[in-house]
Every structure is written in structure tokens, then in C-alpha cells.
Amino acid sequence: MNLYKINIENKKDFLKTLGVESAGVEIISKKMDLLYIFIKDLKTPAVNILKQDALSIGAELAVPGGVILCEKSHYDCLLIASKKHLEILSNKELAQPFGLKDVAKKLKEFLVNEKFPIRVMGIINANNDSFYEKSRFESKNAIMAIEQMIDNGANIIDIGAVSSRPNSLLVTPQDELERIKDICDTIKHSKLYEKAVFSIDSYTPSIVEYALNCGFGIVNDITGASDDEVIKLTKKYNAKICIMHMQGTPQTMQENPHYDDVVVEVSDFFEDRISRCENIGIAKKDIILDVGIGFGKNLEHNITLIRNLSHFKKFGCELLVGASRKSMIDKIIKTPIEDRLEGTLTIHLKALDNGANIIRCHDVKEHIRALKVYEAIQ
């Protein structure tokens, strides 16, 4: 007889291979994942009730000393539970006072189990001031680069004509359209949109509509759906919208960015913007969330968001991460932009581990190769 510890990525598949009955697969798989849920500023009586309820079903609530004596009015605590525990607790706490009804509703959100395919989004910049020189293309060269990315395995091609790097210059809608018009027209007339999904990296309604009318299927909005007109256009053309979080604007975002809790604040932002999109008629399946690595965040903020990506799965939307060759890599290990591929791949593979399913990158071929190895060992 031998015993050894194993890592299981797909619990249901493992149980089926083991020969577990189908009903047992559903029950047991829910017990196989431990979730760690941090709860902030919970009323002390609620902490004590939740502690007892968690213990009664085999879960645990880690609390500070002094809770039992109610030394403070509110406490932070950590719930350690399986999905099965969450199912029980989220029903149990609905009948409890002291704000536990709201806790129950939020616990239910963590039971969302949407599974999205992994996709690679290649970057095409139709401007001459993006931070990575090799991503800049004029109209003629852009089409060649697009076709090469598709051949290399890109599922999505993201095209923009305005740089969003820190301190980038503002561009008029007329100039933005002039830069991107020929590319959009070629995509439409050659039906390249049948080979890959095209994403328009813009928040200007007139540019967004021009691209959508040319067969684009995603609106990549760095302002996070701040303009209802952009949301309405997304709905009109049955496209998807990518909501990105950014503190400030590209011109101000890196001027000492500050958060009391970056995960909570980004999460609250998404909750508000998702609601706005749903009110206009866009379903969650057509919403992509991007935590905005490097957009109004310092290194600590970026790392915290990557580590906690699984939190954002509760929304039931696709998750995009784009850290390609960004300065956070340089802050970890001093490297010029041209030498940041290894750092990029490391961050992106970790992001996939933590819940992302769309990776936005400059180096499509290298990402596709890395993903093939990544998927083989999952």
C-alpha cells in the first residue's frame, strides 16, 4: 500500500475517473475546495453567531481575541469553508440578525461556478506612442501583423489608436478615426472577423460604432463603461464589453495611487458598472472584467489584485488580465521593456491559476506555446 499527496485541478473529472457514482461526484466535489473569505467590519454579535454556526457544520471562523467579550463593536474575521459549507451557511444566516442576512447574500455569490475557455488577446496599436515600440503598426503593416497573430493562435485581436500609457497625450476623435479607419475597413471587406474576434480599444462612441459596424465583437473600454452611449452601442450590435478599472485618467493615474483596500474598491466598482450594463440590457455572459494592472496602481496594488483574482469570479463574468511587458515587472526585477517576456508569462500563468481566462499580450506565439504546456499539466 502506498499513500501520496496529489494536486487535483478538475475535481469532478478525477472523481469520475475514480469511478464515483454521478450523485456522489456532485456532493463530494463541493467538499474538496477550501475557500478563504475575509469579512470586514462585521458587528460583534454577528461574529459570535457566525462563529458558532460555522463550527456546527465543520467550517471555521478565525476571529481576533476579545470577540467573545464584545470588547469592540465590529471585528474583521476569516471564514474557512468548502462550497458545501457555504451553501449551508448562506441559507442558515438568512434568518439571523445583526447584518448576517447581507452576509448570507454575499456568500451565495461565491458559489457561482462559471467556467470560461482560456483565450489569448493579441495587441495591435495603430499609433506611434504606445509604450512598447514593437506593438505599433501603420495600416498596411497592421493587417499583416493581425494575420500573423491569428496564424499563431490568437483568439481575439485588440486594436486601439490611442495610447493609454501614463502621461499619454489626448487625441481627438477625428485623429483616432483617421488612424484606425483603414484597418477597420480592411477587416470588414476581407471578413477577417470570421477568423478571430476583434476588439476595439476605445471609449469614444463614434469610434466604437465604426468598429462594431465593421464586424468587431468586443468593446474594450479603459474607462470602465463610464459612458452609457458606449454601453448602448455594445447592446445594439450584440457585442461584449470589457469593463476595466482605472483610478484617475492615463494623464494622472500614476500620481501616488491610493486605496484603503484595493480588492474591495475594485470589486465595488465592478458591481456598480455591471449593474449599469445590466440595466441597459447586457447580460453577464457578455461582460468581461479587467482589474486594470498598472492603471492607477502601484506594485503592491497590482500584486494584490493578481493574488486575489478568484474573488472577482463571484460576478460570473469573464476575467481579463493584461500585464504584458508592463512596468510592474521592472519594479520586481530591473528589466527594459524588450526583456520583459519572462516576467509577463509568469504573471499571466499565475493569473490563469487564480481565475483569469483571457490574457491580453504582445507576444502571441510565446503565450500560445506556454499555454499548451500549462494546460497539459493542469
Q: Which residues are catalytic?
A: 326, 360
Residue with cell 526583456: 339
CB 202 within 8 A of CB 176: yes
Nine-digit cell at 178? 483617421
Which residues lie below 8 Å from residue 226, measured CB to CB, with a gap of 6+? 203
Which residues lie below 8 Å from residue 52, measured CB to CB, with a gap of 6+? none
Provide the phi-psi class of 48: left if phi over 0, else alpha when psi is between -120 and 50, else beta: alpha
CB 319 within 8 A of CB 357: yes
User: Measuring CA to CA, which residue among 310, 314, 323, 324 is closest to residue 356?
Assistant: 310
Which residue type does 133 have? E
What are the beta bridge partners of residue 123? 158
- Nearest 5 degrees, angle CA 351-CA 353-CA 359? 40
CB 222 within 8 A of CB 295: yes
Residue with cell 493569473: 351
Nine-digit cell at 157? 485581436
- Nearest 5 degrees, angle CA 131-CA 263-CA 261? 105
d(CA 12, CA 40): 33
